């Protein structure tokens, strides 16, 4: 629900395309999803490091870290989980606008929540990665 009225979007003088050109790479979201313990954080951090080492600006938004700050008023009810993912999606969108390859590591089990994040980005900016670890390995 939007609680503020009389708000105006201020357009930057620098476009996303110009930021990407400056960085010499595209900016996208790599959205890792999968069960707890499947390896989302481990893989996301490894990819972040590999990209950084190739001079690609990258950043991981990780589950618990976000709950220390931005999302510290959220719990684990269905409603709060949905709001958690919505906020992460908005932050990821800002990072993409800033020209960064953004990796997220949240269980994010609900397709509807992930699809809302996808719909909030341009086509090809949201790349979903399902970390499909077998239960016996978990
Ligand atoms: N490819 C791998 N091979 C073996 N162990 C792994 C691998 N990837 C991750 N692990 C180990 O599995 C455990 C869980 O990994 P990780 O914390 O990355 O999972 P996660 O999906 O982020 O879980 P959560 O949703 O609870 O944050 C860690 O102890 C990690 O070291
Ligand atoms: Mg994790």
Tell me how many degrees the CA angle 93-94-96 measures, rounded to the nearest 5. 65
The finding on whether 134 has its CB within 6 A of some atom of ligand 1 is no
Identify the structural domains of the chain with CATH numbers, from first to last.
27-130 (3.40.50.300)
Contacts of 52 (CB under 8 A, 6+ apart): 58
For residues 103-121, average pLDDT:
95
CA of 29 to the centre of ligand 1 (A): 20
Looking at residue 118, its pLDDT comes to 97
Ligand nearest to the CA of 38: 1
Q: Is the pLDDT of residue 5 over 90?
A: no
Ligand 1 atom with least separation from CA of 38: 21
Ligand nearest to the CA of 131: 1
For residues 13-32, average pLDDT:
97
Write down the mean pLDDT value for the chain.
95
pLDDT in tens, 43-58: 999 999 999 999 999 9
């Amino acid at each position: 629900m939007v609680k503020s009225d009389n708000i105006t979007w201020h357009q930057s003088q620098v476009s996303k395309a110009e930021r990407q050109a400056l960085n010499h790479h595209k900016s996208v979201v790599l959205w890792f999803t999968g069960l707890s313990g499947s390896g989302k954080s481990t893989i996301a951090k490894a990819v972040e490091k590999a990209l950084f080492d190739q001079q690609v600006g990258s950043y991981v938004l990780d589950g618990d870290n976000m709950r220390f700050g931005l999302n510290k008023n959220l719990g684990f009810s269905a409603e709060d989980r949905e709001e958690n993912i919505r906020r992460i999606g908005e932050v990821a969108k800002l990072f993409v606008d800033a020209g960064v390859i953004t990796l997220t590591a949240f269980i994010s089990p609900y397709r509807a929540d992930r699809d809302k994040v996808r719909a909030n980005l341009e086509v090809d900016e949201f790349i979903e990665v399902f970390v499909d670890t077998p239960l016996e390995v978990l």
